[in-house]
């Protein structure tokens, strides 16, 4: 999918509408929260239904109707501070997106110098969707290899082994609390954590919280320079995201992402740092699910939402 000039022109004309300062909606709110704000805004102001007149809000609502889905979006241009937010404070099952944060937490704990440590495991430790770890039961894998498998191939056993190094899901949650995330709730391991159903708060987060976490690890000072570079390399070479955010941004933009999909309700997510040419990075988190428990996900929803984000921030 490419961002067309015609669409840019339409959004440019609509962008003359006044910008509205941002506020996250409360957890579990059924109303869409949407705003586009500048970093110069002195404080967040409450936004009512009028915020939905923003052009991007209308486009995201239309995507929800078209795909019969609930969509949550948070994105920030780190150069200007401008934000796109839509259901950004509502909870979604995070599914495999947590794996980027787990790898970041392992890098923080062990640093690059400790990533050659070999972790052994048995066949009994293997769980579904473990394309890399299933090949190395006899030899074990280094922490670096496990992080690579976790992010680039979404290997579930590798992710569980990273959990072990962090003290389990609650250990990773504690790391996130330490960097300012008081929203994300981590309870289960793979593959159970991907079995989110409506009303369940286990293994959930919000688009805003996940985007802030990813920004802290990739662009902030949570990690050292070398560790940030390694995490960025894994995200940029992820093999599972070509049809999601990558498909929704203009050609030539560099995307580092971690995808996630749930077992039920067509849950599909992608969190990413996006590097436009000659511009500051954009951090975005796009999360979704559908009302029917047996519904399949559609990657086009995430790609289309990413395209809307690009248009709103351009």
* pLDDT tens column, 91-107: 999 999 999 999 999 99
114 has pLDDT over 70 = yes
183 has pLDDT over 70 = yes
Structure letter (DSSP) for residue 249: S
111, 116, 120, 121: CA torsion to nearest 10:
60
pLDDT of residue 8: 40
- Is the pTM higher than 0.95? The answer reads no
10 has pLDDT over 50 = no
Count of beta carbons in the 10 Å neighbourhood of residue 305: 31
Instruction: Write the CA distances from 257 to 2, 188, 237, 254, integer angstroms.
Output: 18, 22, 9, 10
Name the most confidently modeled range: 2-11, 13-22, 50-59, 263-272: 263-272
| DSSP notation for 180-235 | T--S-B----TTGGG---TT--TTEE-HHHHHHHHHHHHTSSSS-HHHHHHHHHHH
314 is catalytic: no
167 has pLDDT over 90 = yes
pLDDT of residue 55: 82
Q: Domain 5-97+190-313 carries which CATH code?
A: 3.40.710.10
Count of beta carbons in the 10 Å neighbourhood of residue 278: 5
Structure tokens that stand for 100 in this block:
């980027």
Rounded Cα–Cα distance for residues 26 and 294 (Å): 28
59 is catalytic: no
Contact 260, 190 (CB under 8 A): no
Provide mean pLDDT across the span 186-198. Answer: 99
Contact 263, 237 (CB under 8 A): no
Q: Kindly list the domain boundaries of the chain, sorted by start residue.
A: 5-97+190-313
Rounded Cα–Cα distance for residues 246 and 272 (Å): 9
Q: Where are the beta strands (DSSP E) in the chain?
A: 34-37, 70-77, 83-86, 92-93, 118-119, 141-142, 204-205, 254-261, 268-275, 282-289
Map residue 110 onto helix, strand or coil.
helix
Rounded Cα–Cα distance for residues 53 and 170 (Å): 40
pLDDT digits (tens, 9 = 90+) for 273-289: 999 999 999 999 999 99
Instruction: Write the CA distances from 60 to 119, 171, 290, integer angstroms.
Output: 44, 35, 15
Q: Which of 190, 227, 288, 304 is catalytic?
A: 190
């289309």: which residue's tokens?
Answer: 304
Whole-number mean pLDDT of the chain?
A: 88
Rounded Cα–Cα distance for residues 108 and 216 (Å): 12
């Amino acid at each position: 999918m490419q961002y067309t000039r015609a669409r840019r022109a339409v959004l440019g004309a609509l962008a003359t509408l006044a910008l509205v300062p941002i506020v996250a909606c409360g957890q579990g709110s059924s109303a869409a929260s949407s705003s586009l704000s500048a970093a110069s805004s002195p404080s967040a102001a409450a936004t009512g239904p009028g915020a939905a007149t923003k052009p991007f809000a209308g486009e995201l609502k239309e995507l929800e109707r078209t795909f019969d889905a609930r969509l949550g979006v948070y994105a920030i241009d780190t150069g200007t501070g401008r934000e796109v937010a839509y259901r950004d404070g509502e909870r979604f099952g995070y599914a495999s997106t947590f794996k980027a944060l787990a790898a970041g937490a392992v890098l923080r704990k062990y640093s690059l110098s400790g990533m050659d440590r070999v972790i052994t495991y048995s066949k009994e430790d293997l769980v579904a969707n473990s394309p890399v770890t299933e090949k190395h039961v006899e030899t074990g894998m280094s922490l670096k290899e496990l992080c690579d498998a976790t992010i680039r191939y979404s290997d579930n056993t590798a992710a569980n082994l990273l959990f072990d190094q962090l003290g389990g899901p609650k250990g990773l949650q504690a790391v996130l609390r330490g960097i300012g995330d008081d929203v994300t709730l981590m309870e289960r391991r793979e593959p159970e954590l991907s079995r989110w159903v409506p009303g369940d708060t286990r293994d959930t987060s919000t688009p805003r919280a996940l985007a802030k976490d990813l920004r802290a690890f990739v662009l902030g000072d949570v990690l050292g320079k070398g560790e940030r570079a390694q995490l960025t390399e894994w995200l940029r070479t992820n093999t599972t995201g070509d049809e999601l955010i990558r498909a929704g941004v203009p050609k030539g933009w560099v995307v580092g992402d971690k995808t996630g999909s749930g077992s039920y309700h067509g849950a599909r997510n992608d969190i990413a740092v996006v590097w436009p040419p000659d511009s500051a990075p954009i951090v975005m988190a796009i999360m979704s699910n559908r009302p029917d428990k047996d519904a399949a996900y559609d990657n086009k929803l995430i790609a289309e939402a990413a395209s809307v984000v690009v248009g709103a921030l351009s």
